């Protein structure tokens, strides 16, 4: 490693150390001569200054003090600086002894200079680390300071032992201050002053140490936070001693410099004892672990290349270094920030920019992407570079995924399509959500589904009084109820196996539970299946919602939130039309004085049951091809946790009668999604796995919309939530139309049902296909497309395949 790195921050570091070295030498002379340096000693100081500076800075460079990043300074860096300062002080004093025999140079000055140099240079780095740390306890060291022995007597004995050691160290520091001040020859009068003042100094410092909770930490886990506490306690206690002596004796007979020296030496001894204990325990544990793992050869350790030399990368390296059982060897970082090049974090060097990954191919076995805040474009670029390297790669989860845990190398996972789509973390107004949900009885319909179950998980974080889970699927209901019971055993979680289409069973839920807030996530959502059986969509999405609304008004529910879809905007399918009617019902119900009714509308969620991503993954597992309905088809996507969090945020913001629209970002081409998934599985689109275009399915749009005619967007205080305000519906007329729709749905005539839906939702433009009865539905259901590809069943309108000439594609037979 080069002694002088080339990064531009090196010059700033060097300038800071020069300034502090000059300041420490001048302060040492000032303390030695009671703030009045004689002219001959001032000249001697100026003559020695160049040599002192050169020696200190050279040895600091030799100890790699300029390779580390100050914002990631840790205990090892502070110890490294202490070693460098100690060695430089020894070199300076030896040189002066050989050259001049210390003639004209007080020996104590250079001891004081070494002490002050360490406090200034090490303190600067530690201060920058603390200033830039968002959460010192979590980002520097594990939260081990609050570990206590179960036996109270043992706790008392440990703390008493620590206190007795500190009494000895404080006494030693005060005595050393007198020795340094008087050149190791303390006059008899000053020695008596020392003895008379010692009880005050010791009692004052120990009392302040207790006040700052110095004795609650375990020495073997001493960290930078503990050193900061000791530093603060030393300053406060020294100022307290000075203040008492000033008030009682006006400093008559007391050398002022003694108390400055005492502060620095006390800090050095008290902190040094704890750091020494930590080093001893750390070395002993490391030796034990190395012995324990000695049966494993070094070749079993994985050489790890880390992409991203930021906060997350620093945490990863620190965990690896502190936990040898992880069996990783971090060989370096790659980062596009040129200011970090040739610097190091915990001794691990920033090698180069990301594009140069090929130059280090032989040095690593695995790649870890440690940039959880990366955008979709950045992740795509990084993944492409990692794929080109031919080595396996993983990614550190986002903070949202780790919201209930802590960052860990073991938590890293494979790169997923969610990473490539790149949704930003949601900013929540937790106080508003707490005010809405805390202490409330909350009912969630469709609680076993993708959105419903995530809603339940998010709601449990905000301390509701009780939560009722309503679902008609026994297995899914059991699974989410068991999850809640295990994670939150004190929360009253009740599962109701109910069908929202049955008003009597729903009434029993309301009469026994008395919900105050309802999140209505139960709905049929598969577009092609509802095109075949529109009567089921009417009963579930329309009648089920109507049943819930009537009971909500009857039982004076405070807030009702409907989870809707972008398919309700200018719908072209039965699912969208029925959800649009549900929206109208909810907004129309807001006239009820005691309740607030709200709609939250958004697009597709990543990875939900029956969605395109799980389907693509199944098709890849079978070797392809991947079926896409159209080369230009696009969809909006967001993650399931993001959708659930924004639903809660909208619920907290809503005052009633709004349709909240969640920011879905930019639409994604499904064919691009398919290609990305193929590459993530290690294949090449068109070569290893084909993509076949099957044609748009009945009722399917080429591009989804988020706003319907007559609605205007109004921004809210949340950057990811907008509110739509449109024209209200004539509720009497709407209820009559729904009654008529329900009568028609009993005929099982798809064409008539769709026509009736169009009467209620004029913007609905159905595509009429021959699905007017159960016989036609069965014909479509048992068509050539396999049953496990249900989202893609139906009449194929065409075939196309990536990498196959169009002339060959037209020759292929299309089965119906």
Q: Which residues are catalytic?
A: 567
Which DSSP string corresponds to 603-669?
-EEET-TTSHHHHHHHHHHTT-PEEES-TT-EE-EEEHHHHHHHHHHHHHH--SS-EEEE---S-EE
CA 364 – CA 329 distance, rounded (Å): 9
Phi-psi domain of 761 (left: phi exceeds 0; alpha: psi -120 through 50; beta: other): beta
CA angle 451, 453, 456 (to 5 degrees): 110
Pairwise CA distance, residues 4 & 1, whole Å: 9
Helix (H, G, I), strand (E, B) or coil at 78: helix
Could you give phi then psi for residue 627, rounded to 5 degrees? -100, 120
Q: How far apart are CA 458 and CA 645, in angstroms?
A: 7
Which residues, including other chains, have CB under 8 Å from residue 596's CB and lie 6 or more apart?
A: 558, 559, 560, 590, 654, 655, 656, 657
> Who's near 749: CB < 8 A, 6+ residues apart?
772, 773
Asked if 527 and 697 count as a contact pair (C-beta separation under 8 A), the reply is: yes
DSSP assignment letter at 12: H
How many whole angstroms from its chain centre is CA 41? 57
Query: How many Cα atoms sit within 13 Å of 294 on the Cβ side?
Result: 6
Packed helices 9-32 and 256-292: angle between N→C axes, nearest 10 degrees: 130
Residue with tokens 């794929």: 387
Asked whether the CA dihedral 678, 680, 682, 687 is positive or negative, the reply is positive
Query: 3-state SS string over 790-811?
Result: HHHCCCCCCCEECCCCHHHHHH
> Per DSSP, what are the bridge partners of residue 718?
none
Q: How far apart are CA 651 and CA 144, in angstroms?
A: 39
Q: Exposed/middle/buried for 483, CB within 10 Å: 0-12, 13-18, 19+? A: middle
Residue ranges of alpha helices (H) inside 364-473 are 376-389, 417-421, 430-437, 450-459
Tokens of 647: 């639903």
Task: Say how far apart CA 290 and CA 284 lie, in whole Å.
Answer: 10
| 114: Cβ contacts below 8 Å, ≥ 6 apart | 85, 86, 88, 89
What SS3 class is residue 425?
coil
* Separation CA 587–CA 730 (nearest Å): 11
Which residues pair with residue 639 across a beta bridge? 606
What secondary structure does DSSP assign to 390-409, as a single string?
Answer: TS-EEEPPPTTTTTTS---G
Which residues on neighbouring strands pair with residue 442, listed in sequence order? Answer: 467, 517
H helix or E strand, kind and range, residue 467: strand 466-471
Helix (H, G, I), strand (E, B) or coil at 103: coil
User: C-alpha distances in angstroms, 724 versus 91, 569, 598?
Assistant: 75, 12, 11
Helices 544-554 and 503-513 pack at an angle, to 10 degrees, of 30
The distance in angstroms from the start CA to the end CA of the chain is 69
DSSP codes joined into one string, 541-579: IIIHHHHHHHHHHHTT-SEEEEEEEGGGSS--SHHHHHH
């Amino acid at each position: 490693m080069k002694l002088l790195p080339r990064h531009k921050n090196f010059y700033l570091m060097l300038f800071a150390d020069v300034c502090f070295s000059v300041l420490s030498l001048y302060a040492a002379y000032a303390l030695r001569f009671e703030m009045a340096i004689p002219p001959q000693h001032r000249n001697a100081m100026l003559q020695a200054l160049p040599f002192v500076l050169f020696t200190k800075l050279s040895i600091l460079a030799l100890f790699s003090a300029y390779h580390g990043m100050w914002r990631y300074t840790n205990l090892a860096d502070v110890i490294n600086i202490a070693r460098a300062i100690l060695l430089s002080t020894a070199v300076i004093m030896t040189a002066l002894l050989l050259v001049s025999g210390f003639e004209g140079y007080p020996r104590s000055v250079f001891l004081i200079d070494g002490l002050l140099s360490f406090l200034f240079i090490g303190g600067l780095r530690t201060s920058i680390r603390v200033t830039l740390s968002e959460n010192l306890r979590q980002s520097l060291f594990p939260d081990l300071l609050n570990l206590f022995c179960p036996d109270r007597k043992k706790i008392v004995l440990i703390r008493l032992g620590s206190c007795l050691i500190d009494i000895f160290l404080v006494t030693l520091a005060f005595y050393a201050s007198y020795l340094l001040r008087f050149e190791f020859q303390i006059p008899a009068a000053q020695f008596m002053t020392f003895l008379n003042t010692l009880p005050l100094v010791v009692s004052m410092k120990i009392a302040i140490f207790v006040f700052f909770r110095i004795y609650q930490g375990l020495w073997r886990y001493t960290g930078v936070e503990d050193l900061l506490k000791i530093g603060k306690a030393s300053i406060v206690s020294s100022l307290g001693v000075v203040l008492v002596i000033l008030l009682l004796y006006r400093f008559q007979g007391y050398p002022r410099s003694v108390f400055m020296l005492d502060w620095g030496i006390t800090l050095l001894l008290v902190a040094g004892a704890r750091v020494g204990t930590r080093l001893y325990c750390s070395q002993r544990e490391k030796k034990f672990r190395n012995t324990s793992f000695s049966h494993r050869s070094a070749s079993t350790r994985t050489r790890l290349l880390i992409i991203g030399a930021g906060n997350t990368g620093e945490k990863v390296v620190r965990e690896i270094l502190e936990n040898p059982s992880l069996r990783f060897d971090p060989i370096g970082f790659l980062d596009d920030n040129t200011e970090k090049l040739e610097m190091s974090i915990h001794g691990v060097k920033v090698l180069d920019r990301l594009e140069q990954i090929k130059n280090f191919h032989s040095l690593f076995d695995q790649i870890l992407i440690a940039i959880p805040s990366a955008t979709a474009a950045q992740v795509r670029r990084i993944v492409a570079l990692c794929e080109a390297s031919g080595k396996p790669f993983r990614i550190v989860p986002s903070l949202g995924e780790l919201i209930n845990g802590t960052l860990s190398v073991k938590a890293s996972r494979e790169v997923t399509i969610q990473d490539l789509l790149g949704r930003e973390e949601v900013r929540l107004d937790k106080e508003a959500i707490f005010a809405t949900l805390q202490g409330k009885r909350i009912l969630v319909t469709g609680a076993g589904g993708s959105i419903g179950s995530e809603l339940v998980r998010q709601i449990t974080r905000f301390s509701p009084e009780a939560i009722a889970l309503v679902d008609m699927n026994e297995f899914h209901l059991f699974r989410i109820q068991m999850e809640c019971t295990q994670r939150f055993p004190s929360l009253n979680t009740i599962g109701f196996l109910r069908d929202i289409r049955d008003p009597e069973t729903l009434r029993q839920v309301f009469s026994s539970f008395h919900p105050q807030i309802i999140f209505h996530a139960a709905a049929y959502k598969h577009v092609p299946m509802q095109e075949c059986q529109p009567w089921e969509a009417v009963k579930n999405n329309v009648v089920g919602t109507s049943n819930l609304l009537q009971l909500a008004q009857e039982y004076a529910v405070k807030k009702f939130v409907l989870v809707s879809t972008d398919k309700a905007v200018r719908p072209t399918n039965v699912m969208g039309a029925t959800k649009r009617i549900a929206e109208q019902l909810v907004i129309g119900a807001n006239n009820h004085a005691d309740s607030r009714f709200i709609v939250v509308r958004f697009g597709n969620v990543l990875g939900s049951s029956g969605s395109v991503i799980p389907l693509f993954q199944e098709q890849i597992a079978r070797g392809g091809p991947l079926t896409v309905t159209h080369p230009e088809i696009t969809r909006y996507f967001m993650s399931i946790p993001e959708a659930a969090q924004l639903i809660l945020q909208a619920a907290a913001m809503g005052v009633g009668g709004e349709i909240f629209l969640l920011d879905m970002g930019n639409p994604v081409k499904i064919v691009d999604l398919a290609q990305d998934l193929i590459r993530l599985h290690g294949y090449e689109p068109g070569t290893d796995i084909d993509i076949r275009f099957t044609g748009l399915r009945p009722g399917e749009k080429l591009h989804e919309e988020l706003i319907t005619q007559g609605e205007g967007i109004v921004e809210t205080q949340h950057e990811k939530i907008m509110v739509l305000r449109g024209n209200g519906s004539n509720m009497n007329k709407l209820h009559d139309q729904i009654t008529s729709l329900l009568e028609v749905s009993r005929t099982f005539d798809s064409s008539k049902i769709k026509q009736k839906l169009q009467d209620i939702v004029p913007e609905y433009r159905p595509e009429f296909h021959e699905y007017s009865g159960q016989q036609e539905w069965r014909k479509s259901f048992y068509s050539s497309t396999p049953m496990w590809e249900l989202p893609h069943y139906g009449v194929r309108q065409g075939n196309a395949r990536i990498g196959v000439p169009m002339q060959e594609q037209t020759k292929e037979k299309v089965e119906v």
